[in-house]
Every structure is written in C-alpha cells, then in structure tokens.
Chains A and B, each alone.
Chain A
Amino acid sequence: MASVAHSFMKLFRGSSTGSGQGPTPAQRTQRLTRRSSGLAELAKILASEQSLCVLDLGSTSPANIRYLIERGHKIYSEDLLTASTDPALLAKDEQGNVVLDTKKFLTDNLVYPAAQFDVVLCWNLPDYMDESLVKPVVSRLWSLLKPGGVVLAFFHTREAGPDAPCYRYHIVAPDTLEMQHIEAHREVRKGPTGVMHSATTGGFRLQRVFNNRHIENLFHDFASIKFFLARDNVREVLVMR
C-alpha cells in the first residue's frame, strides 16, 4: 500500500518524502475554523426539510451529530477512513502484490439498504483513502443515495502539497466548519463479520490530487456537480444523484 501511496505522490511537484511541513504540535491540538460554501448550500437543504437521513463518513463528531439531530434529522456515523486501514483488508493479488480487498471492505462497511440517504458527508475521504477503494466507494454511495440526494466532498488542489494535514470536520454553524487534526491512535474492535479489526488513525497522507476532470469522471453516474473553490487550496464539491 505504501508503494501505491508513493506512486501517487508523483502527481505532486515535490517528492513523496515531502518537505517535512506537517502540522506542528500546536496545530495538532488547536481547532481551526473555516468558512464552507458547500456546507452553506447544503445547510439550505437541511433547513428546508425535516427527518432527512444523513450519513457522516468522517471521524465520529459529536458536533455534527448534535447539529443534525437538533434539526430533526437522522444521522448515521461511519468512520470510513479509519476502517480502510484495517490490516484484515490486506490481501495478495495473482502477482503476489499486496492489495486491499475491496470486496471485503464493502462487505464490512457501507452496508445499508439502497436509496436510504438524503445527504452523505464525505468530507476529504477520497483524497486520503487508498486508490483502489475510491471508485467502489463512490459507486456504493450512488446506490445508497435517494434520487436527488446530495454528497458533500472536499478535494485538495495541487498547491496543497503532499503533506496537507488530514482533518476531521465539525459543523459549528450552517456555513462554518471547525477542523481538527486527526490524532494518531490505535484501536481494536470486532467488525460485523466477527473478525477482530485493528485500525490506526493519524498519519494519513494525501494519496493523490484530483483535478476537475477527475472529479467529474469519479461522479459521472450522478446527475449534477457543483464546485466551490476555497482559499485553503481545497475545492468543495456538492454532487447530486
């Protein structure tokens, strides 16, 4: 998997070893606030209807859960990035290369009835998730969304660089997010299939940079896509099924 990550670093101007400009200890602990145009657009939908079904694919966020339940919505939380680092997913292909077992990943995760969700908060997942999982996950999201359902996703621009820190996002206002650097920790848990899972969070590195064309291709099954360019080298995308 490391080699996969390494090859994607070629997309950057620099090398995969980076310039060592990761977040400082102070940045790790502090929470940064940013305005989010994509969230502001999404907030209109969340405010206009009640009892929407929302799936949050980021790290468990009490703020997001509170924000959504206060507005009468149902929230589902699933930390997909952490789940993707499960060592039990590692397998060997026909050539003997270590790959991620996509089938197993989708057996253990994102298991919901079809057309269940009105909104999916994808955050920065596609940028940090292993390449082999991105398309299958987006395809699964398409089937989980109701027609007219919306996905909010963030994509870094090339200027962000390979050491762009991985954040978890907390909704603090209809157009404002709080960003918290994901701390490293290890946990062991049992998955739905009964297998013990251990996952490491923290130390996530940007796997690739999608340009606008890549993003359109990634969501080509969806009905429409809206881009919002933010100041912090992030493109926010609102995709409608």
Chain B
Amino acid sequence: MDTPKTGEFAHIGKSVIIKGELSGSEDLYVDGQVEGTIELQGNSLIIGPNGQVRANVNAKAVVVEGKLEGDIRASERAELKKSAIAVGDIVTQRVAIEDGAYFKGKVDIQKESAKPEALPATKSEPRAEARSAAAQVASGSGRATSGAAAGAGSGSTVPAVAIKIPVTEPKKF
C-alpha cells in the first residue's frame, strides 16, 4: 500500500518516536515508533513499512505493513500485509493476512452484533475522545522527534490526534 496523502491521514513520520497514550478521531498513518497505546475508535490506523509500534491498538480498521507488538482490536477489519511482523492477539470482524506476513497470536473473529461494544459513543462526540490537548505534543518532554519527517503531513492534521506523554525519557526499541 502506498503512503496515504497528507490530507487523508494524520501522519507520524519515520524519524518520530512517541512514547505514551495516543488517541484521536481521524485516520492515522504511523511510519515511526510508538510505544504505549493507540486509540482511534471509528477511524483507521495504518502502520507503514517503517513503523514500529509497541502498543495495544484500537481502531475501526488496522493495516500493518511494519512491526507491531501488541493486541489489535479492530471493530471492522484487520489486515496484515506481507511485510508485517505482528505479535499479539487480533479481535475483529474480518481479517486478511497476506502470504509472507509473520503473525504470532490469536485471531478471534467477532460477529457484527458485537460492534456496539467495540465502538462506544464515539460518533456523536468525536473530538471528546482526545485525551489531552495537542499542546501537550509540543510541550511534553517525553516526546523525542527529529528530522523533518516528524512534520510530514502533520501540520494541519495532528491536532486531532492527541498524545498523552509521561515525563520520562524516551527509549528506543
């Protein structure tokens, strides 16, 4: 899958390292490193080929092209591309795993009736899910960013994705 266009997805570039709680109400493309949790209820998450995510992720659709260590909870579908390395359980309605993907974990298919539980009232107040203001992104000392890739496509879209960051030094994977 090609990198999505800037306007379509909030974008975390490949030189960005985020450690903390990440939530939002728009689609997100992660090509950097994230450690913590990712909550995008009602929206899509793509972990790009350079992405290294160590987090439990919750979204409407989750597509993994890079590395993910953590559970996937996708209310609609989960997809592991051939380059994916995923360690963790998948709970979703539909799953697609390409030949060549590495997967260690459980696949649990939930029927459509389970959908309301997976998506608790996010549609009515989409922005309310954001756990902290975008200002925290700029002020949090736990964030480590470098290079221009951090801002690739993030200018107008990042504010909808809020990141709660503990005041700790980031560690690389």
Contacts and interface: CB of A to CB of B under 8 A. Distances in A.
Nearest to B106: A76
Nearest to A55: B106
Interface string A168-194: 000000000000000000010110100
A199 B141 CA distance: 35
A60 B98 CA distance: 9
Contacts of A79: 102, 104
B97 to A, nearest CB: 4
A75 B103 CA distance: 11
A162 to B, nearest CB: 28
B97 A65 contact: yes
Given A189-B87, A190-B54, A190-B173, A60 B103 contact: yes
Interface in A42-79: 60, 62, 65, 69, 74-79
A62 B97 contact: yes
B112 interface: no
B85 A187 contact: yes
A62 B80 CA distance: 10
B32 to A, nearest CB: 16
B105 A189 contact: no
Contacts, number: 45
Given A189-B85, A190-B54, A77 B107 contact: yes
A62 B109 CA distance: 14
Given A65-B95, A75-B107, A60 B102 contact: yes
Interface in B72-121: 85, 87, 95-99, 101-109
Nearest to A168: B99
Interface residues of A, number: 14
Interface in A116-154: none
Interface residues of B, number: 20
B31 to A, nearest CB: 18
B11 interface: no
A120 to B, nearest CB: 14
A62 B98 contact: yes
B21 interface: no
Interface in B30-82: 54, 67, 69
A62 B106 CA distance: 13
A95 to B, nearest CB: 34
Nearest to B86: A60
Contacts of B101: 60, 62
From A60, A74, A192, residue with most partner B Cβ within 10 Å: A60
Contacts of B102: 60, 79, 187, 189
A75 B106 CA distance: 6
Nearest to A59: B102
A85 B54 CA distance: 23
Interface of B: 54, 67, 69, 85, 87, 95-99, 101-109, 173
Interface of A: 60, 62, 65, 69, 74-79, 187, 189-190, 192
15 contacts: A60-B102, A62-B98, A62-B101, A65-B95, A65-B107, A69-B95, A74-B106, A74-B108, A75-B107, A77-B104, A77-B106, A78-B104, A189-B67, A189-B87, A190-B54
